[in-house]
Structure 1
Amino acid sequence: MAANSVTATPRIDLYSDTVTRPTPGMRKAIAEAEVGNEQAREDPTVNRLCEMVAELLGKEAAIFLPSGTMCNEIAYRVWVDHGEEIVLEENSHALHYETGGPAALSGAMCRTIRGKRGMFTGTELEAVIRVPHGWHGQRQRLVSIENTANLGGGAIWPLEQIEDVAAVARKHGLKLHLDGARLLNAVVASGIPASAYAASADSAWIDLSKGLGCPVGGVLAGSRDFIEQAWRFKHQFGGAMRQAGIIAAAGVYALENHVERMAEDHANARLLAEGLAGIKGIGINPNEIDTNMVYFTVGGTGLTEQEFARRLLADHGVRIGPQGKDLMRAVTHLDVSRADIEEAIRACAAVVKG
């Protein structure tokens, strides 16, 4: 996402769901965590978290990692060799916001699909499958999907569409990777279990530091063999940790206490979208709010996205992220209440009114 140049401290922070702070209950769990040597696989809290996520996603094993980006990049490194190709949607997070990680860390090429709201179909995947040309042809290895789709406005992949894409991938001998940074938002909004979404994927992960409200971390899951390979690259990429149970405890707490409450974030996002839709000059379709993300344009207000963001924060203490080309992104989370959303709507209206 575009960097926010506004530096004032916000009262209501809708910049991202990564700005959440640990709740009192989570802080207590962190303080009381039982710990050990994580890299030697001796930390009981880390091991418990990995078991929980493996079960949640219906996989044999899992590995705790410092970030969601590392989850993606380790999966790519396992599945793809140098010079080989990953197929993904043209607005994928891994393509735009992981500092060229696929190329830098795996030597991978990326072939993109122009989908709809960050998603694509099996037919669209079929259209970019390369015809083999002996030693001269580009070798494709992996299809990567993102659920929910960030730049698709937090869109939820229909389960049957994932299965369709997976069937085409298998037909051509390709692996399927699921970037599940906000997968649990999809689960709460749709009622479909995480294991169902991940069933067709050879690797999948969830982020702990977004809607779940943890300070750090992600958990990558797959077959036991896949996870054994992931351990090697975890160390190689600098992800080795020691008494990591301190931060893993936050993940355990969040999975036990913070999943169902995401429905509040989704309701707040819809409320925000409906309020913004009533402000002249702001462009938004409230019907496209699936989860906790609200994208809207401000070109019709006569302000640039940077100026809109600056005034909103400086004059009203509300932070919403400018995305470029008149586009703004607001993300609801556990530190934002319904009253905060109502105030944010009033603040946006005041900025437009000038």
Structure 2
Amino acid sequence: MPIDLRSDTVTTPTEKMRDAIRDAAVGDDVYGEDPTINHLEQLAAEIVGKEAALFVTSGTQGNQVAVLSHTQRGDEVILEEYSHIFGYETAGLSTIAGVQARTIKGVNGQMPIPDIVAAIREDDIHCPKTALICLENTHGDSGGRILPLNYMEEVYEISRQHQIPVHLDGARLFNAAVGLGVDPKEITKLVDTVQFCLSKGLSAPMGSILAGPKNFIEKARKWRKMLGGGMRQAGIAGAAGIVALEEMVGRLEEDHVHAKKLAQRLALIEGIDIDAEGVETNIIMFSIEGLGMDSEEFIEKLNEHQILANSAGPYRIRFVTHRGITKEDIGTAVEVVNRIAAGAKTRL
């Protein structure tokens, strides 16, 4: 079996999830009659401290529904320039929601507060309305960095001053909560709405949750239907999500420990450039430019040793730890990278 470090999306359901899927009580969710989905949505809302929640097919769908529910066509949304919503959701902001993105260069996923303030539009006939601020926690492209609570508080205060809602792309919200050692509510109380995935480190086979005020979720439910997300006996999938929320959050700490150890050992390899101290959750980013090869060649050499990884740039590699990665896998991965680096050194 390959050691799959491409993403935590490759996790497979636990045996308890498979049992729950088999035995799930179901009904037509479009009619609001699926008891398993109703339970999942109530549970999810309670966990993140919101009035209501909505089960959606994916994080991308959840974010898109959130933008549609918060904005009108021609509005503008403020978000970090390497955010998932802007960079990896197939231009849904513009093509589906019809809104304009106002991107800000961030540091570890944090848009500078003065830049957010400066980006908020005045009431001017020439300009779009600033209708939404989007945050991402953890921030994937910066290597799973966590947004500090005091930073989120500052953004929230600005949003209240200007009466602009804040949406959190919390695909890995629970990684952030575990990393900070806080209840997820301590994060989500600082935003109006939140999307989080059940299908990454939590290991459910599919699905995400969008949570927020009751009237917002009622509106979002209609947008979900328009996007083709009105599912029937959805409890088949939702049953695994309940297990994910009840049993899988605490074990994320193990993924963080593995990622930290992997980063620290990679940092000892000549030609690998990595900020091991900056690894806060389960995502590792590092440069292999010092090996005299690009990402494509490096990944090919990893594949020869049954290790899978993704490129994050011409010389940038991403490793992601998850439930399927063991302590032994970490050792093997380091050994393989050592071999590749040694071979590159002789070539140079």
Aligned to 1:92: 83
Report the 3-state secondary structure (helix = DSSP H, G, I; strand = E; otherwise coil) of the residue aligned with 2:141.
Answer: coil
Instruction: State whether structure 2 residue 335 is matched by structure 1 residue 346.
Output: yes
How far apart, CA to CA, are the structure 2 residues paired with 1:23 and 1:348? 30
Aligned counterpart in structure 1 of residue 6 of structure 2, from 2, 5, 15: 15
Length-normalised TM-score, structure 2: 0.97
Aligned to 1:321: 310
1:179-190 maps to which residues of 2 (within 5 A)?
179-190=169-180
Deviations 1:55-110 (A, max 9, x none): 01100000000000011000000111111100001110000100001111110100
Aligned counterpart in structure 2 of residue 73 of structure 1, from 51, 64, 72: 64
Q: What amino acid maps onto 1:110 in structure 2?
A: A
Report the 3-state secondary structure (helix = DSSP H, G, I; strand = E; otherwise coil) of the residue aligned with 2:55.
Answer: strand
Instruction: State whether structure 2 residue 325 is matched by structure 1 residue 336.
Output: yes
Aligned to 1:293: 283
Instruction: State whether structure 2 residue 219 is matched by structure 1 residue 237.
Output: no
How far apart, CA to CA, are the structure 2 residues paired with 1:341 and 1:234? 40
1:145-224 maps to which residues of 2 (within 5 A)?
145-224=135-214
Q: What amino acid maps onto 1:226 in structure 2?
A: F
Q: CA deviation at 1:200?
A: 2.1
Q: What amino acid maps onto 1:57 in structure 2?
A: V
Instruction: State whether structure 2 residue 260 is matched by structure 1 residue 270.
Output: yes
How far apart, CA to CA, are the structure 2 residues paired with 1:248 and 1:178? 22
Q: What amino acid maps onto 2:48 in structure 1?
A: L
Q: Between Structure 1 and Structure 2, how many residues are aligned?
A: 343
How far apart, CA to CA, are the structure 1 residues paired with 2:295 and 2:45? 41
Instruction: State whether structure 2 residue 300 is matched by structure 1 residue 310.
Output: yes
| Structure 2 stretches lacking a partner, 5+ long | 344-348
How far apart, CA to CA, are the structure 2 residues paired with 1:273 and 1:290? 10
How far apart, CA to CA, are the structure 2 residues paired with 1:13 and 1:276? 17
How far apart, CA to CA, are the structure 2 residues paired with 1:151 and 1:98? 14
1:36-115 maps to which residues of 2 (within 5 A)?
36-115=27-106
How far apart, CA to CA, are the structure 2 residues paired with 1:196 and 1:120? 20
Q: What amino acid maps onto 2:99 in structure 1?
A: A
Deviations 1:321-343 (A, max 9, x none): 11222000000000111111111
Q: What amino acid maps onto 1:344 in structure 2?
A: A
Contact residue 298 and residue 304 of structure 1 kept, 8 A? yes
Length-normalised TM-score, structure 1: 0.95
Q: What amino acid maps onto 2:323 in structure 1?
A: L
Contact residue 188 and residue 263 of structure 1 kept, 8 A? yes
| Structure 1 stretches lacking a partner, 5+ long | 1-9
Deviations 1:206-265 (A, max 9, x none): 100101011100010001100000011000001010111111011101111111000000
Q: CA-atom RMSD, angstroms?
A: 1.0
How far apart, CA to CA, are the structure 2 residues paired with 1:41 and 1:327? 46
Report the 3-state secondary structure (helix = DSSP H, G, I; strand = E; otherwise coil) of the residue aligned with 2:102.
Answer: strand
Report the 3-state secondary structure (helix = DSSP H, G, I; strand = E; otherwise coil) of the residue aligned with 2:96.
Answer: helix
How far apart, CA to CA, are the structure 2 residues paired with 1:146 and 1:47? 27
Q: CA deviation at 1:191?
A: 1.2
Report the 3-state secondary structure (helix = DSSP H, G, I; strand = E; otherwise coil) of the residue aligned with 2:318.
Answer: strand
Report the 3-state secondary structure (helix = DSSP H, G, I; strand = E; otherwise coil) of the residue aligned with 1:296.
Answer: strand
Contact residue 207 and residue 219 of structure 1 kept, 8 A? yes
How far apart, CA to CA, are the structure 1 residues paired with 2:115 and 2:38? 39
Q: CA deviation at 1:127?
A: 2.0
